[in-house]
Chains A and B, each alone.
Chain A
Amino acid sequence: MKKLIMIISMAICLTLLNAVFPDGNELLKKIDDNMLSKTMKATYTMTVQTKRATRTMVSVNWSQGTEKGFSEYTAPAREKGTKMLKDGDNLWIYDPNTDRIIQISGNMLKQSVMGSDLSYEDFMEETTMQESYSALVTGEEIYQERDCWVLMLAAKKPDISYQTIKVFVDKERFLPLYEERYAKSGKLLKTTQVQEVMQVKDRWYPKQMLYKDALKEGKGTLFTIDKIEFDVKIPAYIFTKASLKK
């Protein structure tokens, strides 16, 4: 009897939730529409703030859909000329000091980029949220003076790095402002805080984000978008290995 009451209560709660909150997967579609583009060119400044030191790196990045990406570091002098090309699951890194191209593939993509709190996957990734996750709106919050929906994302496939993600999404702009990425066990692993936003034509985009490994000490990695252009024409040679040595 108790079980029956519980099931009925849960069903009522879920129905009420659905009635009050929008459909999570619809929200994911809107987030994807806002965040993704056919092509993109951007200049990023990445500041890695470890316990002992702070390092700042500047890179110019090109991407095409979710499959292809190309980055070139322009500062500091030590990293200048380092280039990365992503094509599907493969990543090639060009080191100007040794004048060599190194291929990194598969699991290596899950490693940290330049000692930051971001993995190569996080950095190069532009996968659609809809493809990877199913979402449920679980509540509302005010984050940085903006009204947000609280979304709980559950991975659709077992090979997705973070099986659960909690996201605060701006109700009007459909921009994720805060993310918590969890391990399968439910332990918090990473957080992403959008600290500043910008409007690029008709879309809202993060200007400055703080990525933080929740298990590690340190202030995290600050990621600033200095310049961004969507749906720009990118020459095909950019996404070839030949462009790494150019």
Chain B
Amino acid sequence: MVFKLAWKNIHGAGLRSIINVFIIALVMIGIIWMQGMYAGWMRMAERQSREWQNGDGRYTFRSYDKYDPFSWDKSNGKIPSELQSLVKNNEAVPILISQGSIYPDGRMISITVKGIPYNQKVLKLPTSELKDSKYNIPALIGMNMAKSSHLKLGDVLTMRWRDIHGAFNAADIEIVKIMDTPEMEVDNGQVWIDLARLQTMKDAEGKATLIVLKNSKDISFTSADWRFQSIDDLLIDLHNIMKVERAQALIMYAILLFLAMIAIFDTQVLAVFKRRKEIGTFAALGMTKREIIRMFTVEGMMYAMLASVASGILGLPLFIYYGTKGWKMPSSYESYGIAGLSDTIIFYYSPQMILSTIIIVILITTVVSWIPTLRIARLKPTDALRGRLS
């Protein structure tokens, strides 16, 4: 009966109800849209990281610290025999990392030199291009690197590096491919050459800094020199960025919800005031105060339920558009070097996320609808019948 009465009242309120439902629906659409964006961004960054850089996890030489380039020459070791069969079968790819400098047009630019086997199939890098170059060392760079250092395809320039003992060496490299990669960590300041060549150049035969795995599920190799890093370990920075972004988004959700709840609260306060004779009549007919409060609260809750349906109808085209076409971030975002920002973000809406958003909005709306009705508890039926609020 409570639901029936509540529905009749909402229906009777006409435009006021429509506006309330519309506002809550807009808030729901906004929240789901933003959450979809974050989820899509995260999924894409993870996928890109797997495809271009980290595979399904990797073994890292224990002393390697990516933030300390001066230690890199000492942070490599022989590829463990237990992993060599994986490397041979293209189930793992060894990478040797070195510090270096390039000199395009007499300008010195510090770079990271990375050696990767030209015939690897684990990562998406177009390494097959590194196989041959008639006179020079073939090198692969990303578009961002090409742009920032003013390099183009076919350019020949001098690269200087130190071997693992500390002696200087230098040779000419040729840019044989400029790759379009969404993963900034394999692009910015990086020059890729064939692993065997870099090992010879650095006097580090058979050595690597990282061994990236295609599939880490059945690998149980442990070593004092090599530490295993799962894909989650490797994406910890991204997860932390996402945590901060989501925390900022929560503030936005709270503001949106607050605005919507003001409308609901206002509607309820007005309803209690305008319908005091009706409240008195219900009380005179034998309804308890609790039942009357429940009726008003259910009305509020039903706004949110109707808004859920409305958000589905109104938001569906928007959700489908961003879920299929995605959102291309402005090109200036690429320079931030944050994973996933250099490509079109395809939004992802998980059922869990949609359901939790709807439940949270309904719960908050219910609580906000209930607070103004507490005045009913203090109302005397006789006063109410006379149209007074005590």
Note all chain A residues with C-beta closer than 8 A to B158. Answer: 187, 215
Contacting B at CB under 8 A, from A153-192, are 155, 157-163, 183-185, 187, 189
C-beta contact mask, B100-111 vs A, less than 8 Å → 1, else 0? 010101111000
Given A107-B70, A158-B203, the answer on whether A215 and B166 have CB atoms closer than 8 Å is no
Bound Cα distance from A213 to B169, whole angstroms: 14
Note all chain B residues with C-beta closer than 8 A to A185. Answer: 169-171
Contacting A at CB under 8 A, from B88-127, are 101, 103, 105-108
Bound Cα distance from A215 to B170, whole angstroms: 10
Nearest-neighbour CB distance to chain B for A217, whole angstroms, equals 3
Given A107-B71, A189-B160, the answer on whether A160 and B167 have CB atoms closer than 8 Å is yes
What is the number of contacts between chain A and chain B, taking CB atoms within 8 Å?
65
Given A108-B70, A215-B158, A217-B107, the answer on whether A158 and B168 have CB atoms closer than 8 Å is no
**Which applies to chain A's interface (DSSP): helix, strand, loop or mixed?**
loop
Note all chain A residues with C-beta closer than 8 A to B105. Answer: 217
**Interface size band for A:** 20 to 34
A183 near B160 with CB under 8 A, answer yes
Chain B: interface residue total (CB-CB under 8 A): 21
Closest B residue to A158 using CB positions: B165
- Could you say which of A51, A107, A162, A185 has the most chain B C-beta atoms within 10 Å of its C-beta? A107
The reply on B163 being an interface residue by CB < 8 A is yes
Nearest-neighbour CB distance to chain A for B249, whole angstroms, equals 37
Bound Cα distance from A158 to B168, whole angstroms: 10
Nearest-neighbour CB distance to chain A for B162, whole angstroms, equals 7
Note all chain A residues with C-beta closer than 8 A to B71. Answer: 107
B108 near A216 with CB under 8 A, answer yes
C-beta contact mask, B171-204 vs A, less than 8 Å → 1, else 0? 1000000000000000000000000000000010
Bound Cα distance from A159 to B158, whole angstroms: 22
Note all chain A residues with C-beta closer than 8 A to B103. Answer: 215-216
The reply on B299 being an interface residue by CB < 8 A is no
The reply on A218 being an interface residue by CB < 8 A is yes
Q: A158-B163, A215-B170 are in contact. List 18 more A-B contacts (CB 8 A).
A: A106-B70, A107-B70, A158-B165, A158-B166, A158-B167, A161-B162, A161-B166, A163-B168, A183-B160, A183-B168, A184-B163, A184-B168, A184-B169, A187-B170, A189-B168, A215-B160, A216-B107, A218-B106
A to B CB contacts below 8 Å, 21 in the list: A51-B107, A107-B73, A107-B166, A110-B162, A158-B165, A158-B203, A159-B166, A161-B167, A161-B168, A183-B169, A183-B170, A183-B171, A184-B168, A184-B169, A185-B169, A187-B158, A187-B170, A189-B160, A215-B103, A216-B108, A217-B105
Nearest 9 CB-CB pairings of A with B: A217-B106, A158-B165, A183-B170, A107-B70, A187-B170, A184-B169, A215-B103, A159-B165, A159-B166
